[in-house]
Structure 1
Amino acid sequence: MPLRTSLAAALLALAPTAAVPATAPAAEAEAAWSFACPAPGTAATYAPPVTMRHEGTAGGPLLCRVAGQRTPWVLGLAGDEDPSGRALLETLERGFFPARPGAVARRPPRPGGTGNAGATELTFAGYEALEVPAGRFEAARIDFRYQRSADRVQTMRAWIDRATGVLVRMELEEGPNGRRIEAVATTLTRP
């Protein structure tokens, strides 16, 4: 399956998979964390089946080049031309990193929008030990809430491996129907 604007968009068309339980949360470290794109040549395959091959950074530490994509991906989660990807990038650019567990960044609603449309909230929930089919990881968990329109909210929880910058698990809820999609890394190949 070719990648779309975001991993989330690619997964919305697929049925959810069974959850892979995380291990008990690791002791919360106070150390600040900054995201770095995966090294060129890193590849991750997810269930449902989507493979992301990383090619390095694209114009800054928050934008990653992914093979087969026209535009860079923000944190490896969403293309920067996708509305949720743009919202995520604009929120991050407000000075989120380096972040300590509990850090929160917000972006106000779009001017002239209806209700809270365009508003975002990004939270660094902390560090968690996580086990998925691709292995055991010490992951940084990012929670993102995006008000797509007056009546449509997208929420995403993403676990990013601290050592490689690779997304190892993602949960997404989108739209008024409360559809829930989950992706987990099944393989991780390092250069």
Structure 2
Amino acid sequence: MKTIVHTTQAVYRQLINTVSRPGHTEIITEEVKNYSDFSDAALLISMTLFDNEISFFSCDKTMQKELKVLTGGIPNKDYTTADFIVSKEADLKEEYFTEVMHGVLISPEKSATLIIEANSIGEGNEYRLSGPGIKNTTDVKLSLDSRWIELRNDICKEYPLGIDLILTDKNNNVVMIPRTSKVEVL
């Protein structure tokens, strides 16, 4: 019998693989009852990372309710103090990059992680990643508009400060762009 614990353990292993290999695409094959408009990947990643000590922001009310019930996470009405922001690509705002927690030098871990459901991973604009976990460079195609990546780059230029991005799509693909990676728009 497979429980939600087994499911989130499998997703966790895939997340570790994407964190250690930025730009590498994983496909989450696990399934979950999902009542939101988000992909199973976005919901499962949130279920894996959230607990009753984190706060999250989502402008999607259905996803917000689902995450509160499934994870015990604290819905935050103020995205500027949320640990996680869960958003669709179409709902992104510049403020989600510029006004969220970026950490402080004494506590760089106090920064936000954005879980963004992009329209597509594998199609669209091409980006070149380099940095820790990448031998030379790796290229990834994302539907994500280059202005979001440029905002992210501006925020992450003073490492260890910055934000991390976890990108998913409707096909349950997952790509991680940590604050340690340099990202070029090709």
TM-score bracket for this pair, using the shorter chain length: 0.3 to 0.5
Name the structure with the higher strand share: 1
TM-score after normalising by structure 1: 0.35
TM-score after normalising by structure 2: 0.36
Name the structure with the higher helix share: 2
